[in-house]
Amino acid sequence: MPDTVFVLNGPNLNLLGTREPEIYGAETLDDIAARLEEKGRALGLAIEMRQSNHEGHLCDWLHEAQGAGAKAVLLNAGALTHTSLALYDAIRSIRTPVIEVHLSNPAAREAYRHKSFVGMAAKGTIAGFGAFGYELALDAAARL
Ligand code: DQA
């Protein structure tokens, strides 16, 4: 059985491809999933890709990742990144390493995107490389 990496995506990321493409790019979440699965095969990793617009689902899936013995979680929490103490606590509550991912670089955007509850609890962050950032994060997960 290959190790599994959970890839969890938060609010509005279901609309990737049509949502503000000048910021987030033209690729859909399905495109990203396909690329991760291909890369995962090369790295010997299975990918469990999910998206929800609801904070509680993301908390539940972080807990599930630990229960399932996942190797790592890649987490793009969308706007919840900047608001969710519950996600901060959930990441700190599990031993599974969590890698924060963003398509854009929130540090170079509006001030209200500069604080990251996810980043304060995560192992590390990859931001600003568009959809390719998910692949960079998978490489990082493979080396943990
Ligand atoms: C995002 C950045 C967040 O600030 C924003 O709310 C998103 C997407 C990104 O991937 O660049 O929804 O997480």
DSSP states along 13-37 = GGGTTTSSHHHH-S--HHHHHHHHH
Looking at residue 1, what is its pLDDT? 75
Pocket lined around ligand 1, Cβ cut-off 6 Å = 12, 76, 78-79, 81, 102-104, 106, 113
Enumerate the β-bridge partners of residue 12.
none
Residue 79 Cα to ligand 1 middle (Å)? 6
Q: Which of 59, 56, 74, 57 is nearest to 4 (CA)?
A: 74
pLDDT in tens, the chain (144 residues): 789 999 999 999 999 999 999 999 999 999 999 999 999 999 999 999 999 999 999 999 999 999 999 999 999 999 999 999 999 999 999 999 999 999 999 999 999 999 999 999 999 999 999 999 999 999 999 999
- How many residues in the chain? 144
The token pair that represents 54 in the structure block: 């609801």
Residue 107 Cα to ligand 1 middle (Å)? 11
Which residues have a Cβ under 8 Å from the Cβ of 36 and sit 6 or more positions away?
7, 47, 49, 134, 135, 138
The token pair that represents 65 in the structure block: 């990742």
pTM for this structure? 0.97
